[in-house]
Amino acid sequence: MSQRARHTALIKALAAELGFAACGIARARRLDEEASRLEAWLQQGYHGSMAYMANHFDKRLDPCELVPGARSVISLLYNYYPQQEINPGKPYKLARYAYGKDYHKVIKKKLNHLFTRLKEEAGDINGRYFVDSAPVMERQWARLAGLGWLGKNGLLLSKQKGSYFFLAELIVDLELDYDQPLPDHCGTCTRCLDACPTAAIVKPGVVDGSRCISYFTIELKANEHPPADLPPDGWIFGCDVCQEVCPWNRFATPHQEPAFQPKKALTEMTAEDWQQLTQEQFTELFSGTAVMRTGFAGLKRNIARVNQHLEGEAGNKNSSNSR
């Protein structure tokens, strides 16, 4: 076995040992074919107030800007599909990825272990690892590494695993054996486009981030408010609609990561509990989770928006019954 093959086998074995659902490797190069698409997306203003999306344009396209002399981009998937749903039958919904501890911290520890073991085997190599924390086009690299294809909702899809997984990357200046991209398997299906509550998927593979419910419930500052015509959807942090309707997610299986399990108190929240949520309760429920990103004031704003829709629906129902 060649040294390249041995290093490649070690990386994939370690990834499986650390609980990653899949690992693929692509040759590091500038993604010239993505430049025009990224530029057009930014020019359309689809990033909304997320100004950071327009920063570091060249770094997004070229991994050598992040790791000088980069040879390989190792992409990894980490499953977060919950063993236990906390949303059914309740008016307030959280995106499934936010049920447990902040994925950045959980996965970065695993990546550090992977990189440390790789350096022990391969010697003096240079590299960096990322979990949604740097200007890396993670979905494109995962596609090039043969982990799936880009669906019409813009997410990476896998025939075996669906789309409920986090993406992570390890960029190294080490030559490895490379995987091949997979063909698109969405076919004529348009379920995600048809189901998006805000029509944020403007065309297959292109998402207007500034119209996504995740944008309105997470990215907006606490003193900013979503459009008045935003549909009554119940989402108070993130949105899973385009994943819920995707046929490939029938193959999603529950994760085995204890850190992603929701706190018992969160699973027992009633509608009244959400409406009366205090700062102290918010901190107790969500400290160390992704929900802290929107903050207490932001979450209360989102809950209030859902309440307005519920009250409006109740008023309309009473009006109809009185006729």
Quick check: 25 and 170 in contact, CB under 8 A? no
Residues 6+ apart with CB under 8 A from 135: 55, 56, 59, 60, 66
User: What is the helix (H) or strand (E) element at residue 26, kind and residue range?
Assistant: strand 22-27
Could you tell me the two tokens for 194?
Answer: 């048809």
**183 vs 299: CA distance, rounded Å:** 40
Pairing of strands 93-94, 127-130: unpaired
CA 181 to chain centre: 21
**151 vs 157: CA distance, rounded Å:** 6
Could you tell me the two tokens for 319?
Answer: 């009006």
Q: What angle do CA 199, 144, 238 make, to 5 degrees?
A: 30
Quick check: 77 and 111 in contact, CB under 8 A? no
Q: Is 27 exposed, middle or buried (0-12, 13-18, 19+ CB in 10 A)?
A: middle
Beta-ladder partners of 25:
74
Catalytic: which of 124, 132, 194, 229? 132
Dihedral pair phi/psi, residue 8, rounded to 5°: -65, -45
Give catalytic status of residue 177 as yes or no: no
- The closest of 131, 78, 98 to 286, measured between CA atoms, is 98
**29 vs 6: CA distance, rounded Å:** 22
So which residues are the catalytic ones? 132
